[in-house]
Amino acid sequence: MTKGRLEAFSDGVIAIIITIMVLELKVPHGETLQDLLPLWPVLLAYVLSFVHVGIYWSNHHHMIHAVKHVTGGVLWANLHLLFWLSLVPVTTEWMGETHFSTMPVAIYGVVMLMAAVAYFLLAHCLIAVHGRDSDFAKALGGDAKGIFSAIAYVVAVPAAFVTPLISVGIYMLIAAIWFIPDRRFERALSSS
């Protein structure tokens, strides 16, 4: 089957996820910059999650653009990824509203870890469809950033029970690493 519907549906779901996150932001009670200070945890959580979701959207777009077709298994793997991403608004608000308390920070890490695992599974479902020797498989390569991210999330979750800000720092580090665009699929498409 063609990939167009999968891409359009995913884009719509991710747009809704970002919309829900921004709608959860509260207007400050006052008119000065000082009135924004109590909202810093909520704003920081929002920015962190917006960047993470944006990174998933960008990489998902490039990955799906690089494939020729999808199967029912790929559709389910994609829904699995979207499920975990759909939990980001809830965990973002919980983390921000509690000023980065232990349990919300740990649960945020679990959701991000599961999204990373789901993305990995989606990529490998696509390899199974296109073959291990396909241009898609070659473009994906070893996925060092993806593996590093998953390991970092595994470290960040228990670190939240020591000091939640260590976990938040790890989440920021992961976002920073992925903020540099992943050009694997663009290079593969331009060379083929």
Domain limits, the chain: 4-191
pLDDT of 189 > 70? The answer is no
pLDDT at 5: 92
pLDDT at 190 (0 to 100): 65
Whole-angstrom CA distances from 27 to 23, 36, 71, 89, 125 are 10, 9, 44, 17, 43
Which pLDDT score is estimated for 188? Answer: 62
> Mean of the pLDDT values across residues 44-65?
94
Q: Say which range, 48-52, 86-90, 119-123, 144-148, has the weakest mean pLDDT.
A: 144-148
Tell me what pLDDT residue 28 has: 85
The mean pLDDT of the chain is: 92
Confidence of residue 166 (pLDDT cuts 50, 70, 90): very high
Among the listed residues 121, 159, 155, 157, the one whose alpha carbon sits nearest the alpha carbon of residue 140: 121
Q: SS3 string of the chain?
A: CCCHHHHHHHHHHHHHHHHHHHHCCCCCCCCCHHHHHHHHHHHHHHHHHHHHHHHHHHHHHHHHHCCCCCCHHHHHHHHHHHHHHHCHHHHHHHHHHCCCCHHHHHHHHHHHHHHHHHHHHHHHHHHHHHCCCCHHHHHHCCCHHHHHHHHHHHHHHHHCCCCHHHHHHHHHHHHHHHHCCCCHHHHHHHHC
Q: Of 21-30, 63-72, 168-177, give the range with the top mean pLDDT.
A: 168-177
Q: What is the pTM of this model?
A: 0.92
Query: Mean pLDDT, to the nearest integer, of 4-27?
Result: 94
Question: How far, in whole angstroms, is CA 111 from its chain's centroid?
Answer: 9
